[in-house]
Structure 1
Amino acid sequence: MKKEQLELIKNGTGFIAALDQSGGSTPKALALYGVSEDQYSTEEEMYDQIHEMRTRIMTAPTFNSDSIIGAILFEQTMNRTVEDLYTPDYLWEKKGVVPFLKVDKGLEEEAYGVQLMKPNSTLDDVLKRANERNIFGTKMRSVIKQANYEGIKNVVEQQFEVAKQILAAGLVPIIEPEVDIQSEDKQQSEELLKQEILRQLNVLSEHENVMLKLSIPTVENYYKELIDHPRVIRVVALSGGYSREDANQKLAANQGLIASFSRALSEGVNASQSDKEFNDILEGSIKGIYEASRT
């Protein structure tokens, strides 16, 4: 199974759906979906609502491996069911979509122009359960706000350190050092980031292969060297706050870069829509992101 999944992620045509909104971002995601905070009173009810939204997306007819090669899940989603199967099993067995898991615990306060990941003392346990739930890989996010060499170096070093822990558990890490698209020196941050990522990639062994999830670069095809690197399975792009239309346009200009969109994927769908309305809008969204990922 893992060999088949690796082949799909490495060479498949399509994109990775990000369905991993966590505690901090869930209320905003629900609000965009038309579920306001007065419609749930506890955290459990909030997570029930977001699981209903995610289930509606995953069970939609066009959510399948024709366009989508992978999906990133939140930890709670991994442990919940869709049509009587654990979500990762539903994705792979019913949809042919490779399941990933978000494993970071959120962000530290900003220092040196970046936000590192919070300490994660339970990661080994999470990785053990991920293997039990047939997860293929993981994702972890840091944020870069300024072109500060020390800060960016710290972000990349932390990401690769945790990636090695994930590789040791038999899973494929998606390294996500997001560059804030609102940053005044975004291009300079990307230059420093690529330099530091290459430094880390070049010392990995032939058995230590990773994925990268990056903001769409300011300069078109700037990450080609990363896409072509022998230690990189695939480079995917986050939408980072761009509208879907803008994100698709920018993504299409970068050959070999595919999408891993969250908000841009669900843009326009609403809890009040009929199944036909919902599925038609989602179909249009998937088609647009798929076409932008084919370049």
Structure 2
Amino acid sequence: MDKALLEATAAALVKPGKGILAADESNGTMTKRLEGVGIESSEEARRAYRANLFATPGCESAVSGVILYDETIRQTMDDGTLIPEYLNSRGIFPGIKVDTGTVEMSGCPGEVVTKGIDAEPENGWSNLDTRCKEYFEMGARFAKWRAVIKIDTTSGSSKPSMDCLTDNARALANYALICQQQGLVPIIEPEVLMEGAHDANTCAEVTSEILRQTFEECRKVGVHNPGALLKPNMVISGKDSNEQNSREHVAISTVECLTESVPHDVGGVVFLSGGQSDEEATDHLNRMNAMAVEHPWQLSYSYGRALQAAALEAWANEGAEASQVAFAHRAKMNSLARSGDWDISLE
């Protein structure tokens, strides 16, 4: 394990003023997004949209890295340059989604565990170690693995179960170690979903538990924390909850939860947007960074929809240049939020 390389990459990914673009939607998810704006999905349609996004003038001032999907890391820009090579030329780290989705847990109805460690010949996937070696050779310098945690507060339900939390925490730790052994900084993403009617306190409790378990498993297997990044959800009430907290409350609760549950030597925190609106995701991050306290880590972003939604809409309705303008604006807004300097008037 090259700890110096991992630490340098992690630090560069959370450099002040910068964050990560999550452009690693699976083909199925990207098809839904494209069709949602009236575009027929195809390998070329996905390539063209993403290549245009990556070519946005000046985006490297706000984007430190881009998480790619397996299809995308093998594709080229319009001029034939391989996408990882192009990103590197702009000073942007190429990253790669390495989990292969989720499977239902036996004995835990409605709960899932993320897969991707073992080979899946039926789906064309080699084991994670082999894939990480290949991705590193292709230019990737970081990776992402997402665990999905569902809260269900309906009568008689106790989701998430302890088995769900434990199994996902172990998978995240094993993934992180394999990545680090192959030179890739692992982004550890245990996402507590916003779906449900739970309140913010329940979200905080579940988030704290999955974070504690994940980093305990990381400690057990020997993950090097300064060479890893955490991609957590914010502490937010479920979408169907009657109790929706203020944005200031979300920011304070999130910082408190992380400060209590995450080792202070982790390389950085890059939040997921998780169904928040573009402006909400920016505002919440801004409020955290505007606090009159010094956080243990850089608090940054690794947004997908919250960076891309407006750009995708513009791509469908106004064309390539308008899509880049929309993306550049959202990237700039989140860059300002990194230092607590964003304001609603700038929107």
Normalised to the residue count of structure 2, the TM-score between the two structures is: 0.75
3-state SS of 2:317 partner: coil
Matches within 5 A, 1:76-115: 76-82=71-77, 83-93=79-89, 95-109=90-104, 111=108, 114-115=111-112
Residue equivalent to 2:207: 190
Residue equivalent to 2:147: 142
Checking the alignment, whether the CA contact within 8 Å between 2:272 and 2:301 is kept in structure 1 is yes
Deviation of the 1:159 alpha carbon = 0.8
The equivalent position to 2:174 in structure 1, one of 149, 155, 161, is 161
The equivalent position to 1:173 in structure 2, one of 180, 186, 198, is 186
The equivalent position to 1:224 in structure 2, one of 250, 255, 259, is 259
Matched letter for residue 223 of structure 1: L
Matched letter for residue 224 of structure 1: T
Deviation of the 1:12 alpha carbon = 4.1
Matches within 5 A, 1:58-77: 58-64=54-60, 66-77=61-72
Residue equivalent to 1:23: 27
Matched letter for residue 76 of structure 2: T
3-state SS of 2:316 partner: coil
Matched letter for residue 85 of structure 2: D
Matched letter for residue 206 of structure 2: S
Matched letter for residue 47 of structure 1: E
Checking the alignment, whether the CA contact within 8 Å between 1:57 and 1:63 is kept in structure 2 is no
Identity level (%): 25
3-state SS of 1:69 partner: strand
Matched letter for residue 115 of structure 1: V
Offset from partner CA, 1:239-278 (integer Å, 9 cap, x none): 1111111111222233432111111111122323134422
Task: Give the number of aligned pairs.
Answer: 284
Offset from partner CA, 1:125-152 (integer Å, 9 cap, x none): 3212102111101111110002433311
Structure 2 unmatched ranges of 5 or more: 120-125, 152-159, 237-252, 290-297, 341-347
Q: State the distance in 2 between where 1:85 and 1:197 align.
A: 38
Residue equivalent to 2:292: none
Normalised to the residue count of structure 1, the TM-score between the two structures is: 0.87
User: Against the structure 1 CA distance between its residues 204 and 281, is the aligned structure 2 distance closer, same or farther, given a 3 Å change threshold?
Assistant: same
Residue equivalent to 1:214: 232
3-state SS of 1:254 partner: helix
Checking the alignment, whether the CA contact within 8 Å between 1:86 and 1:133 is kept in structure 2 is no
Offset from partner CA, 1:180-213 (integer Å, 9 cap, x none): 0124242221121122134234446584632111
Deviation of the 1:116 alpha carbon = 1.0
23-32 vs 101-110, which deviates more? 23-32
Q: State the distance in 2 between where 1:282 and 1:233 align.
A: 27
3-state SS of 1:229 partner: coil
Q: State the distance in 1 between where 2:335 and 2:149 align.
A: 27
1:272 and 2:317 matched: yes
Checking the alignment, whether the CA contact within 8 Å between 2:286 and 2:337 is kept in structure 1 is yes
Q: State the distance in 2 between where 1:223 and 1:212 align.
A: 10
3-state SS of 1:96 partner: coil
User: Against the structure 1 CA distance between its residues 131 and 194, is the aligned structure 2 distance closer, same or farther, given a 3 Å change threshold?
Assistant: closer
RMSD across aligned positions (CA)? 2.4
Matched letter for residue 324 of structure 2: N
Matches within 5 A, 1:2-21: 2=5, 5-21=9-25
3-state SS of 1:258 partner: strand
Larger Rg: 2
Q: State the distance in 2 between where 1:237 and 1:289 align.
A: 11
106-115 vs 171-180, which deviates more? 106-115
User: Against the structure 1 CA distance between its residues 10 and 203, is the aligned structure 2 distance closer, same or farther, given a 3 Å change threshold?
Assistant: farther
Structure 1 unmatched ranges of 5 or more: 41-45
Residue equivalent to 1:43: none
Q: State the distance in 2 between where 1:288 and 1:175 align.
A: 25
